[in-house]
Chains A and B, each alone.
Chain A
Amino acid sequence: MTSGIRKFALSVHVTFSVGWIGAVVAYLALGISAVTMQDTQTVRAAWIAMDLIGWLAIVPLAIAALLTGLVMSLGTRWGLFRHYWVLISLVLTIVSTVVLLLHMPTVSMLADMAQAANGAHLAALGGDLFHPGVGLAVLLVIMALNVYKPRGLTRYGWRKQHEQRTVSQP
């Protein structure tokens, strides 16, 4: 990957990743509103907005961040399985995306219910704070790993590095 392409790919990856975090924060704000607000229309609107933000922002951004992350790691010297910070970021991103995709249908169902529910039933829906809360924490861990890039080769990376040294110093 040339320097120009690498910088462009990195910009795209950072945009999707930070956008994912921002969208989760917006979702969390709506989730808190759904729990704390008393006004029926506000709670109903919050659930509908959570459904829309989830499917139209968080899911696409998550998939895009995962795919661009794969491109970045495979297209640069970091590799996918050589450094622990890349490997852990990959695993956490895949787990987060899978949990998100499994969770969103439930949000859609509750958003549908919220549209027809009256006050008491609407309150029974509660909120959705646990999943976005944990998700946000995981995303911040991934971000920290990507910024600090802590040293540490995997066993595979260590072996590859040794093989390369052996080749370069016969």
Chain B
Amino acid sequence: MADLPPYTTPRWVKVLGIIALVLVLLLAILHLTGVGNLGPGRHMPSGHAGDGSPVSMTVGHGSPIAHADHQPWL
């Protein structure tokens, strides 16, 4: 037992972790500064889509078969 080398995390895991951390921080900054509204429908009036809210949960969509007739902004 005594001749076991101490456990070390592989270097590639550390590098990958740092890259992932930087990317997550970058996305968080973009999101907080308002530049980060990167989802679909971002050009639409606020509250319709792309704001990160589960819009379809409230309007009853969620499958390709369910095509409701409502047209919220027409």
What is A's interface to B at a CB cutoff of 8 Å?
51-52, 54-56, 84, 88, 102-113, 115-117, 121, 123-128, 130-131, 150-152, 155, 158, 162, 166
Contacts and interface: CB of A to CB of B under 8 A. Distances in A.
A106 B44 contact: no
17 contacts: A51-B64, A84-B10, A105-B55, A106-B40, A106-B50, A106-B54, A108-B62, A108-B66, A109-B56, A113-B49, A116-B74, A117-B74, A124-B41, A124-B43, A125-B41, A126-B40, A162-B4
Contacts of A84: 10, 13
A166 B7 CA distance: 17
B54 A102 contact: yes
| Chain B contact residues: helix, strand, loop or mixed | loop
B67 A105 contact: no
Interface residues of B, number: 34
Contacts of A128: 39-40
Contacts of A125: 40-41, 43-44
A109 B73 contact: no
A105 B39 CA distance: 12
A108 to B, nearest CB: 4
B43 A126 contact: yes
Given A116-B71, A150-B12, A109 B44 contact: no
Contact of A106 (B4, B7, B43, B56): B56
**Interface of chain A, main secondary structure:** helix
Given A55-B63, A56-B64, A105-B62, A110 B40 contact: yes
A105 B61 contact: yes
A105 B74 contact: no
Given A126-B43, A158-B7, A108 B56 contact: yes
Given A125-B44, A151-B10, A109 B49 contact: yes
